[in-house]
Amino acid sequence: LHERDDYNADSPWSVGPVRYIVGSLVAFGSIEACESFVASLMSKVVPSSLATGTFNSGLLTTMVGTSGRAVGDFFIAGMGFISIRNLLNLLVFPACGLLIFCITMVRMNYRDLEA
């Protein structure tokens, strides 16, 4: 592979620094808004036994979210070490597989989740 700064300049899929930064900010803001919405909904359906004490559902949700971000950061760094040029493909394909797995699990256990 030839190392050039303009290797994808003619591609319609290429983005410049400004579009990348704006897109990242929009994605981050959307994810944070969705996370707060889900946390608000969860607070309304959590049993009262989990809503008291130090290790309540809010703390557990925060810990799980932080752990998920840390694992995601390590995964992105690992994929970047494999190939920085193909980083997007190395992230999107496993994410699509994870999405399909999660949808399959929800569909298989939907009746149990309704209760």
Q: Distance between CA atoms of 76 and 70, rounded to whole angstroms? A: 10
Q: pTM of the predicted model, to two decimals?
A: 0.61
- The tens digit of pLDDT for each residue in 48-60 reads 777 777 778 778 8
pLDDT at 6: 63
34-37, Cβ contacts within 8 angstroms, sequence gap of 24 or more: 35/65
2 has pLDDT over 60: no
Q: Which residues lie below 8 Å from residue 87, measured CB to CB, with a gap of 6+?
A: 76, 79, 80
Backbone region of residue 21 per phi and psi (left: phi > 0; alpha: psi in -120 to 50; beta: other values): alpha
What does the pLDDT look like over 87-111, one tens digit per residue?
A: 888 999 999 999 999 999 999 998 8
For 57, residues 6+ apart whose C-beta sits below 8 A from its C-beta are 42, 43, 46, 50, 51
Instruction: Tell me how far apart the alpha carbons of residues 102 and 76 are, in angstroms, rounded to a whole number.
Output: 20
Share above pLDDT 70 across residues of the chain, in percent, rounded to a whole number: 91
